[in-house]
Structure 1
Amino acid sequence: MPRSEPLWRPFLFFLLPLMATNILQSLSMTINNIFLGRMLGVEALAAAAVFFPVAFFFIAFLIGLSAGATVLIGQAFGAAQRDKMQAITGTALGVAFVGGVLIAATGGILAPAIMGGLGTPETILPEAIAFARTSFLVMPLTFLFLVSASLLRGTGDTMTPLLAQLFATVLAALLTPALIRGWLGFAPMGAPAAALASGLAFGLALLALAVFLVRIRHPMAPDRALLRKLVPDLRLLWLVLRIGLPTGVQVVAGSMAGLVIVGLVNSFGFQATAAYGAVAQVLTYVQFPALSIAIAASVFGAQMIGAGRTDQLSEVLRTAMVMNLVLTGSLVAVTYAGSRHLVSLFLTDPEVIELSQQLLHIITWSALMFGAGTIFSGIMRASGTVLVPMLIGLFAIVAVELPVAIVLSNMIGLPGIWWGYVASFGAMMVMQGSFYWFVWRRKTIHALV
């Protein structure tokens, strides 16, 4: 990027396709669930839902691997080191593929034990086992696609991953009903149709992506030079894991805390649970800009570090914070203005709609604090500083969110649980910002590759 060009322009061009990709990924899952529920019934939908915590556990590993590799790719790209980019890409893809194959093999064997251990009801257990086995089977393709898309973002390219995700989403939406009905020469399938359709869609999108990268002679194209580097470079692998694993650990911790929160919500009755589901759906979309901005800040920060322009990191921070205020803030304002209409998309009971509105009004504004905290940690991750930001994130969950939610829910009822989220986001923003300003900013930043 030329020094004279305002940073907000490339930042915005990077950010908008990234946000669209995140929305498409969420939309793809929603579409599959609609097909299962409408075409096969609630039992098939429940069979797929039971596997979600298992899938999320493995996706957390993938998020960590991708986060670490993307930082290194960003630094190598900023330094214009083509060989390093290929080595990092080969290491990340090699580990993703081997990990996916091992998970597919062991998961397929252990699927009955895993589904049984989760307490899956007997009525849906056979269908849940079949869905789990199919999901495990296609994990190598899923892993390769998601890691490839993440690595491309490290080079500043979010449009190619967006087009690949759009292709996969449309293809999965076509394949799922076709497999359910047996239109492609297969026997009609149950819930596993959704898992198989997603795997096939990711596989074909990965193939199309590979062909495209070869044709444009991209540094990360799967040519002979890259294929020779699929055997992991142990030094690079260590760097990837050192940066990425803390991110994965924090994601797992957040999901486990979520289980505790769900238990608290359930204690207030089914109406509270329904309201929780509706508010969580809306909040997910409100947080998309914040999460995307943090990823963009990490990528741009890594590129600045790789290019030896660490003096520009403060500009990256300012740009990301302004984007958070404008984009996340706008979505927060829209959510407040249309809160009743938004929760009514999921609910029909007037009493539950009113409750959901109340909870949405408590939590929505805190997405701005959530965004600020993740931006601070994203920029620090660009330099390889991950341990302290991870500990801060864990502290905000374990020592702030859960205790506040438990104490306030006993004092003021259901709204207290949502004030726990607000307190956690606020604490994370303050602690991450303090570590950034008073410790990290005073360090000498060096490229890792």
Structure 2
Amino acid sequence: MSQHQQSLVTQQNLWKTFLVFLLPLIATNILQNLSGTINTIFVGQMLGVHAIAAVSVFFPILFCLMAFVIGLSAGATVLVGQAWGAQNLEKVRCVVGSTLFMTLIGGSLIAIFGVLYAKHILMALGIDDEVMHLSLPYVQWMLAGSPLLFIYIIYTSILRGVGDSRTPLLASTMSIGVGVITTPVLIAGYFGFPKLGIIAPAIATSLGMLTVLIFLTVYLNKKDHPLKPDWQLIKNIRHQPKLSKIILRLGIPTGVQMVTTSVAGLVIVGLVNRHGADATAAYGAVNQVLNYIQFPALSIAIAASIFAAQAIGAGKSDLLAKVTRTALGMNIIFTGTLVILAYLFSKYLMALFITDPNVVALGQQLLFIVLWSILFFGASAIFASIMRASGTVTIPMIINVLAIVCIEVPAAYTFSNWWGLEGIWYGYALAFVCLCIMQGLYYQFVWKKKTVKVLI
């Protein structure tokens, strides 16, 4: 059995194995965020402000769709991890087949209804009439190509479930490469290509996904990868009620959590907007910086979940505490280092996004309030992901939603009445700390006393 076929947790040095798995995962997350930033730059520079507004309207729609896909992939990754830990390749293929079947059905329905009702959706979002003629075709093309995007996200997540974080990085680099080359070419109609304007980024995204899926099919078959899309795997792409039920049971809470987070985000933006345009600009810049610091924290949580699932599948539940310790240690080292760097270079980080010196100073002030609490956010994500690997998803999800609905939003509202704009960020910090304490207590005093069973 090659290194590649081995379960992650059975390897000797857990720290080293964790690190080797983690680095490509962080790089993939950062690349994907960069691709969105680059796309926005192309649209803004080549098509103007109205085009940016037209494209931005799609974000809340995309977020709800992503909640569905990321929920599915979270459930599937846990099961794939457990089956892989048990070295049961047939079971791995069944889970992959069942997940791809649900993705294809769900993605096709979203594409069809999305294209038909895009105008109604945009009107419900209250889009400006000046932007509607640009937004409508963009949103329709994005929704039409969404099944490709969903399959890409699911497949790369499942690859990580069997301990392969390098292939998703390769796939991500490739899809971004295709996007960066084709977006400007299609917007402006270079090299004799048709000039597609606003729908160019949407078509470029679909082209990127299609290219990567073809590449993965060839590459995985050539490497004789355990998850190569061959006949053994393809015949499992069908409705498997028992498996679908477990995948959805594990996945839906993750989706609900994402939707709650995004709705709370909208409420907070409303609070920020009250303080004027400078406050909104500072909020945008602070969030960009926080995103990049949260990526390693979230990547560590994803890695912890996969290691834990493989340990459970391999019947080595005794290793779960070791995986948790390793992940928490990595959070302190990685996230902690980034937090310190962000404190030291806060002025320059803000200046990347903002030119006005007053707003830069305001952004710095807000960063200083919230940065340290990202460490607590990382730890809470690790506790929740370890528990998810064993099938415990509902209580961690409820804790998360409570922290947002009962602590973050009310605190942001109350503190902003007391201390102005800064109060909103005190609310964030308080929510992260409380969330970590609640998840930690549940993990330590309830979950650890349960008997961990294999789910499939």
Which TM class, normalised by the smaller chain length? over 0.9
How far, CA to CA, are the matches of 1:434 and 1:211 in structure 2?
47
Which residue matches 2:105?
A: 98
Which residue matches 2:5?
A: none
Q: Secondary structure at the match of 1:148?
A: helix
The residue correspondences of 1:128-167 to structure 2 (distance < 5 A) are 128-167=135-174
Q: Secondary structure at the match of 1:268?
A: coil
Name the aligned partner's letter for residue 257 of structure 1. Answer: A
The answer to whether the Cα contact below 8 Å between 1:85 and 1:219 also exists between their aligned partners in 2 is no
How far, CA to CA, are the matches of 2:38 and 2:185 in structure 1?
14
Whether 1:432 aligns to 2:439 is yes
The answer to whether the Cα contact below 8 Å between 1:305 and 1:446 also exists between their aligned partners in 2 is yes
Name the aligned partner's letter for residue 435 of structure 1. Answer: Y
After superposition, the Cα gap between the structure-2 partners of 1:432 and 1:291, relative to the gap in structure 1 and judged at 3 Å, is: same
Alignment equivalent of 1:304, drawn from 296, 307, 311:
311
Which residue matches 1:269?
A: 276
Which residue matches 1:52?
A: 59
Whether 1:375 aligns to 2:374 is no
Name the aligned partner's letter for residue 395 of structure 2. Answer: V
Deviations 1:290-338 (A, max 9, x none): 0000000000000000000000000000000000000000000000000
Alignment equivalent of 1:178, drawn from 185, 197, 201:
185
Which residue matches 1:226?
A: 233
How far, CA to CA, are the matches of 1:48 and 1:55 in structure 2?
11
How far, CA to CA, are the matches of 2:217 and 2:258 in structure 1?
29
Which residue matches 1:403?
A: 410
Q: Which runs of 5+ in 1 are unaligned?
A: none
How far, CA to CA, are the matches of 1:92 and 1:3 in structure 2?
27
Deviates more, 1:183-192 or 1:228-237: 183-192
Deviations 1:108-139 (A, max 9, x none): 00011111111111111011000100000110
The answer to whether the Cα contact below 8 Å between 2:9 and 2:311 also exists between their aligned partners in 1 is no
The residue correspondences of 1:245-256 to structure 2 (distance < 5 A) are 245-256=252-263
Which residue matches 1:330?
A: 337
The answer to whether the Cα contact below 8 Å between 1:141 and 1:203 also exists between their aligned partners in 2 is yes
Which residue matches 1:26?
A: 33
Whether 1:73 aligns to 2:90 is no
How far, CA to CA, are the matches of 1:74 and 1:185 in structure 2?
47
How many residue pairs get aligned? The number is 449
Shift of 1:232: 2.4
How far, CA to CA, are the matches of 1:445 and 1:343 in structure 2?
46
Q: Secondary structure at the match of 1:230?
A: coil
Name the aligned partner's letter for residue 246 of structure 1. Answer: P
Name the aligned partner's letter for residue 172 of structure 2. Answer: Q
The answer to whether the Cα contact below 8 Å between 1:131 and 1:191 also exists between their aligned partners in 2 is yes
Alignment equivalent of 2:211, drawn from 195, 200, 204:
204
The answer to whether the Cα contact below 8 Å between 2:11 and 2:17 also exists between their aligned partners in 1 is no
RMSD across aligned C-alpha pairs, in angstroms?
1.0
After superposition, the Cα gap between the structure-2 partners of 1:57 and 1:221, relative to the gap in structure 1 and judged at 3 Å, is: same
TM-score (norm. length: structure 1):
0.99
Name the aligned partner's letter for residue 215 of structure 1. Answer: K
Deviations 1:55-109 (A, max 9, x none): 1100011110000000000000000000001000111111111111111100000
Shift of 1:217: 2.3
Whether 1:392 aligns to 2:427 is no
Q: Secondary structure at the match of 1:345?
A: helix
Shift of 1:433: 0.4
Alignment equivalent of 1:349, drawn from 352, 356, 362:
356
Shift of 1:190: 1.8
Whether 1:362 aligns to 2:362 is no
Structure 1 residue ranges, 4+ long, deviating more than 3 angstroms after superposition: 1-4, 183-186
Q: Secondary structure at the match of 2:54?
A: helix
How far, CA to CA, are the matches of 1:250 and 1:4 in structure 2?
33
